[in-house]
A and B are shown apart, each in its own frame.
Chain A
Amino acid sequence: MGLHVLLIEDEPNIAEAIRFILSRDGFSVSTYGDGQDAVAQVVSLRPDILILDVMLPGQSGYDILGQLRQRAGFADLPVLMLTAKGQGRDRETAARVGADMFMTKPFSNAEILAAVRSLGRGLTLRGAE
């Protein structure tokens, strides 16, 4: 069983596509579509990698990540943020709240796969130390 990826994304079609791509590569993927209780979801599922959309119903991805980083045990969780807004400001905000990687929609399958893989490699390196 590969690394566990939690995908928080409200667009079911996008979630399905990412799930398909990552599962095919050996990750185990769970998806969640609401921002409101996303933090609780992450805390209870304890994923290895988090993919987080910015525009979510209920609560924005920035807010979720901000809260998450405050919690014990989640400071180092590798996080990839996705946004469809695509403004330079968003990238800065993402970095400030503690995202490890940031991608603008639309992206190619290869791009997102490479991003998640590199986050995963970071984890294995850290584990080896």
Chain B
Amino acid sequence: MPFNLLVVAALAYVISLFCVAFVVERRAEIGAAGWLRSPLVYTLSLSVYCTAWTFYGAVGYAARSGLEFLTIYLGPTIVFVGWWWVLRKLVRIGRQHRVTSIADLISSRYGKSNLLGVIVTVMCVMAATPYIALQLQSVTLSFGVFASATTDGWAKPNGDVTSIWVTAGLAVFTILFGTRNLDANEQHTGVVTAIAVEAVVKLVALVAVGCFVVWGIADGPRDILARIDASEMANWHMKPSRWTGLIFLSAAAVICLPRMFQVLVVENSDERHLATASWAFPLYVMIMSLFVVPIAVVGLELMPEGANPDLFVLTLPLAQGQGGLAMLAFLGGFSSATSMVIVASIALATMVSNHIVMPFWLSLRPAKAVPGDVRRLILLSRRLSIGAILALGYAYYKVSGGSEALASIGLISFVGVAQILPAMLGGLFWRGATRVGAVLGLCFGFAIWGYTLFLPSFGAEAALSAQVMTEGPFGITWLRPQALFGVTGMDPLIHALFWSITLNTLIFCAGSLVSFPSPVERVQGAAFVNAFDAEPGGGQGWTAQGEAGAEDLLVMAQRILGDDEALGFFEAQAVMQGKVGYLPDPTAGFIEQLERRLAGAVGAATAHAMISQIVGRTAVSVEDLMAVANEAAQIMEYSAKLEEQQDALTRSARQLRDANDKLTQLSVQKDAFLSQISHELRTPMTSIRAFSEILTEGDLPPELVTKYGLVIHQETKRLTRLLDDLLDLSVLESGTVQLNLDLSSLRSMIDAALQSASHTRPERSFVIHRDLPGEEVFLRTDSDRLTQVFINLISNARKYCDSDAPELRISVRRKGGRVTVDFIDNGSGIPKDKQSLIFEKFARLTDQTKAGGAGLGLAICREVMANLGGTISYLPGQWGGAFRVTLPLRLEKPKA
């Protein structure tokens, strides 16, 4: 097969992955992620555990050490099936505290200590370096296999050149996708989906090769079993200590590997996905390991002596002339390697940037200074970190010679990251675990790992001299790297694992017991250990100090989260505080929420430091109190809870105050209304009472009797009218008015209204201009009610138009499904400052004698029009008083 074709296929494959990630990212942006956030994708993304080491190395492992390769799968299976509650706790805490990486988790748990963040980051980078080198090596090797098998004259490509190209390509792809934007919760939907696709490719490829081996080369399962019995593998014996150690190791690694933590915790979008993953992931791993032994056995049988068993997956199909299958296998291996490198370097870059670059940069800035464009800085630092991490991997690959068996390189990494396990589990389940203990345990474990496993892995004379290896440093024999404390004869890997983990755990526990946790540690410890008790739990104890300007916080948040997200977050918080349209108060609860949000972008320790710069104090006014009282952690927990409750109380108090203000306002309005009604009722009653008394006293001239009798009559009518209006208004306002819809012409209604209104000031000659053709409109409405409005407007014009030759123009216009009727007189109109009042109840502008009504007319008109689906409004800027009535041509009867 031409080598170039292979390069083209690999490139095409990478580009298609690129497209998948791109499309998914786009869909996620518009909120259409849907199934992309399903348990299936989550489970498949977990398969990033299965790297090139699994894909190629497992067969090699089986060829060398028999069934021992299974331990690498048994560990994760035990964790997922039996320890799912640990995973659930991890995921829950990860979401609650917006943890961005495993370093962030440890740092956050132990009082947001950045020292721990740095330690874990350095450990992870060092431990991952051999692993990344392993991937580079496997991809380079697989290219080499194809090249050496070329028959058509292609020169064998230079392995060095290939590995450089592979490294650079992976760096570019990772940078393009892992750091395209700064996501607040540090999730990369696009990348995860691409990883899931790769998971399918590698599974299909391995199963295809397996099927080919079982049914294509051998004669089915029975034949394979016979071949296995005949092979050396049948004589293989289990070494219990190695098995136990390796199972423990892989179990620890599946939680602690930065890339596993990334997909397991950081990228998790729903805790429930874990339930599916707890059986589906072991199943995936089982299928991946199903054909390992058959391929190894048949490979050993058919391939020439000295062929690298790590490459059987590729070389077997090639040797059998199955070019296409080999290509598929190549892509499978390529997938395994790329997915690991991508996720690992994203996870590591996040850690390096959040725990080393950002804190360093922050420390260079003067306190209280509002940082500049942090987003760009963060992205830049992550991109550089990715490049640096891959460069380190490449360097290791070059230095270590790239000759070792794949599996042993992988195990070195596993032991390295397993050092995090004691601090992590201790942090999750033991409230007494302290920062000092964690730092000491991690450092010791890591040092032992480096001394006994990592440095020797560079080969004899590379990092440690042969003399040190055999006689110990300075001739101290009990410090020999592979025989600590004089324990000899142990497998070097198990030796390193045993001593590093044992001492790590012991020192961690001892350190925790003798040291005293800081207040922040206590609070975080309680929040982590009791993650399931309190959903919003774990107050960091920001004291609600007025010093922190909400504006400063907003500026900072905008620089880190971006304008839209920061503003959205602040608005939502303001709404929660009952301060719609303002910046939220910098309450303890608010700052805590903000800190978590920022932690999602820059990690807990950095977020804490940044907020401290603005808020001006590093949390916990209780600190002094703590020192004095020397109370147990419960106090802090209790006070954090109290603070939360206090926040809630403040919030409800504010809401109550607002509600109370509204009620007071309503009550004032109601009082004013009642007072008005009282006035309107008492005034006519005063006249009636006075004159009726005068009349009953007798002794009056008859013309006065008549006159006063008439007054009583008038005032009684006025009272009746007032009561009618009030009742009318109350019915209209309550919306329970019965409308009698009929079809009648506008003209007939205006006719009727003019007729009725002619009783108002009949002594005045009033010229009416009408638009008779325009009025020929048939309306489906309540004609009585509409006429009532017209009467009101016409009588008002008659009453108030102050022109010497009063005129009223009634004009009609139709527009769409609505009709507009304007009533414009030639008086002086309504003064500007009163125009907004006229539709209010009792809004009489002139003195009441002239008006003769209670001032409810226009208020009633407004209610009538609302009931008729229309409006009534005052038209400013006309010659005189001008009112506009708008209503639909056909009023649909509202559903009862």
Contacts and interface: CB of A to CB of B under 8 A. Distances in A.
Interface of A: 10-14, 16-18, 20-21, 33-34, 55, 57, 84-87, 104-109
A84 B683 contact: yes
Contacts of B685: 105-106
A12 B694 contact: no
B308 interface: no
Nearest to B711: A13
Contacts of A21: 690, 694
B694 A11 contact: no
B403 interface: no
Contacts of B846: 57
Interface string B672-693: 0001001100111111111101
A84 B686 contact: yes
Contacts of A86: 678, 682
Contacts of A12: 849
Nearest to A35: B847
Contacts of B715: 13
Interface string B144-170: 000000000000000000000000000
A66 to B, nearest CB: 20
15 contacts: A11-B686, A11-B687, A13-B691, A13-B711, A13-B714, A14-B690, A33-B847, A33-B849, A55-B679, A57-B848, A105-B686, A106-B686, A107-B689, A108-B689, A109-B690
B798 to A, nearest CB: 20
Contact of B682 (A20, A33, A84): A84
B848 A106 contact: no
Main DSSP-derived SS at the A contact region: loop
A105 B680 CA distance: 11
A88 to B, nearest CB: 11
Q: Which 9 A-B pairs have the closest CB atoms?
A: A17-B690, A57-B847, A84-B682, A13-B687, A106-B686, A105-B686, A106-B689, A84-B679, A105-B682
A57 B846 CA distance: 7
A56 B683 CA distance: 12
Nearest to B697: A109
A20 B694 contact: yes
Nearest to B693: A109
Interface string B824-852: 00000000000000000000001111000
Given A11-B848, A57-B846, A106 B675 contact: no
B711 A16 contact: yes
Contacts of B686: 11, 14, 17, 84, 105-107
A37 B829 CA distance: 24
B675 A87 contact: yes
Given A13-B714, A84-B678, A86-B682, 11 more contacts: A11-B848, A13-B687, A14-B686, A17-B686, A57-B847, A84-B683, A104-B682, A105-B683, A105-B686, A106-B688, A106-B689
Max chain A C-beta neighbours (<10 A), residue from B684, B685, B687, B691: B687
Contacts of B848: 10-11, 57
Nearest to A18: B690
A106 B690 contact: yes
Interface of B: 675, 678-679, 682-691, 693-694, 711, 714-715, 846-849
A104 B681 CA distance: 12
Max chain B C-beta neighbours (<10 A), residue from A21, A34, A84, A87: A84
Nearest to B684: A13
A18 B847 CA distance: 20
Contacts of B847: 10, 33-34, 57
Nearest to B690: A17
Contacts of A14: 683, 686-687, 690
Contacts of B711: 13, 16
A106 B691 CA distance: 11
A37 to B, nearest CB: 14
Contacts of A33: 847, 849
A26 to B, nearest CB: 16
A90 to B, nearest CB: 9
A84 B688 CA distance: 14
A14 B711 CA distance: 10
Contact of B694 (A17, A34, A84, A105): A17
Contacts of A107: 686, 689
Nearest to A12: B849
Contacts of A16: 711
A109 B715 CA distance: 17
Contacts of B688: 106
A86 B675 CA distance: 8
A88 B689 CA distance: 22
Contacts of B682: 84-86, 104-106
A8 B219 CA distance: 123
A33 B847 CA distance: 10
A114 to B, nearest CB: 14
Nearest to B680: A84
A106 to B, nearest CB: 4
A14 to B, nearest CB: 5
A17 B687 contact: yes
B155 to A, nearest CB: 107
B670 to A, nearest CB: 13
A14 B694 CA distance: 12
A55 B679 CA distance: 9
A14 B708 CA distance: 11
Specify which of A18, A20, A34, A104 lies most central, judged by the most chain B CB atoms within 10 Å of its CB.
A20
A32 to B, nearest CB: 13
B691 A17 contact: yes
Contacts of A11: 683, 686-687, 848-849
Contacts of A84: 678-679, 682-683, 686
Nearest to B671: A87
A116 B715 CA distance: 25
Contacts of A10: 847-849
A109 B692 CA distance: 10
Contacts of B683: 11, 14, 84, 105
Contacts of A109: 690, 693-694
A20 B694 CA distance: 9
A104 B679 CA distance: 10
Contacts of B693: 108-109
A20 B849 CA distance: 20
Contacts of A55: 679
A21 B679 CA distance: 22
B846 to A, nearest CB: 7
Contacts of B684: 13
A53 to B, nearest CB: 10
Residue from B675, B690, B691, B847 having most chain A Cβ neighbours under 10 A: B690
A34 B687 CA distance: 18
Contacts of B687: 11, 13-14, 17
A26 B635 CA distance: 88
A10 B807 CA distance: 29
B21 to A, nearest CB: 74
A21 B689 CA distance: 12
Contacts of A18: 690
A35 to B, nearest CB: 9
A14 B678 CA distance: 16
A106 B687 CA distance: 8
Contacts of A85: 675, 678-679, 682
A85 B687 CA distance: 15
A106 B32 CA distance: 73
Interface centre among A11, A13, A20, A107 (most CB of B within 10 A): A13
Nearest to A112: B690
A12 to B, nearest CB: 6
A10, A33, A106: residue with the most chain B Cβ atoms closer than 10 Å: A106
A84 B678 CA distance: 7
Nearest to B707: A16
B404 to A, nearest CB: 97
A107 B690 CA distance: 8
Contacts of B678: 84-87
Contacts of A20: 694
A104 to B, nearest CB: 8
